[in-house]
Structure 1
Amino acid sequence: MNDLPNVENNQSMKKVFSRIGLAYFIMLALDVLFSRLIGVYFHKAGITDPNSWLTYLSSMIPLWGIGFPVCLLILKGIQKISPEEHNIKAFNLVKTYLSLTAVMILGNIIGIITSSIVGKIAGGNLTNTTMNMISEQELLPSFLFAVIFGPIMEELAFRKVLLDCAGKYSKKYAIILSGIMFGLFHLNLFQFFYAAALGMVFAYIYLSSGKIRYTICL
């Protein structure tokens, strides 16, 4: 579809993009709300040091068990069109993987510098709470939830679902939206820049290939 939509399509695009924004905002709000409620319950129950399985479940259930289903319900009325499927050669996937590594390193550096500047302005030190939490957990649950389950769900939510809703209006804007929302959902400056950049690259790959398995594997 042409990335220069006419007036009618532009109005439809604004409505759809606004609905997408609302759906993912509610998804995030529910995640934060129920995570806080679980934290309050742990405190009252005297659970001060939950094991790794409980830690991951208490963070995954609010987002993927509550927030994401509600998000899907809000997006239910939007017509979803998957991109045409095309194969990507193995050599090109390897090149993409190497490029993604460079993007992650650069984005991480930008995130660290930005967080340091913001921390100094605010008079404190910002910490990468997500990475700190993962580093303290056991290997098996970390592998299952942080390496397998989490990334698969992220690709389904921020590439498959989002782009099937938005890609038909403007691939360019859909790619930008996918990346920025993916970055914002990480909820910290350390991860925002590289997550947003990776999200845009993954969005481009999915819209070009029509196959979500490529971005999941990467």
Structure 2
Amino acid sequence: MPFEGFTLRNYTRIPGEAGLQSSVVTSFGVATLSATIATTIGVLASFALTRYRFRLRELYRTFGIVPMIVPGVILGVGLRFYFQFLLPVEPGLLATVLTHSLYGLPFVLLIVTARLYTFDESLEEAARDLGADPLTTFRDVTLPVVAPAIAAGFLFAWIRSFEDYIRTLFVSGVDVTPLTQWMFGKITKASAENLNLLNSVSTLVVLAIAVALAAAMSYGNVTGYIAGTADEDEEE
């Protein structure tokens, strides 16, 4: 279609589009559940890898970031066979949440581990010297310092789950339709109206992800932790 001017008409179609709202709710639910699981496991693993010395520690660390490196098709196919033949998990919501949790784990692990490596443990020692028990020390000293990194890891895991299509394709089954699959279904039925609607939806999704990434990068100071300049940035 030739360009005829600017319009917001396609955005007004979004609330009433069949299947769109349910797919958005599904994506939000899957992303929130999987990011919560990934963050919980990632934080515990980060403390274990940075605070304790044990055999094969570096091997465990490597396994923790493998899901981020493995191509999506290979990870999706591998997990589909794993769920189908080794675990009693059929393709569907549970398989999708578990897959996205595994995919989001490396992002939490890398960010929180980087923060813990720059954490001054003498602060905890000072709190214990003043009579604080381990729980109080963690709540009042450790957690406030590490919380921004945990939040940033959660956001990264949430975003990676929300925008994923390839891995979801292999494990979601026929009953789970997240936003990415709904959008792909619209593309296969190519028409001017569908393409215009998809452009509008894509614009909103990109804006939402950009805002979330900006929040994660600034509030969590991700670049500072990775570059090792977090403490200098905080002092400034």
Q: Computing the radius of gyration over CA atoms, which structure comes out larger, 1 or 2?
A: 2
What's the TM-score, normalizing by structure 2? 0.32
What's the TM-score, normalizing by structure 1? 0.34
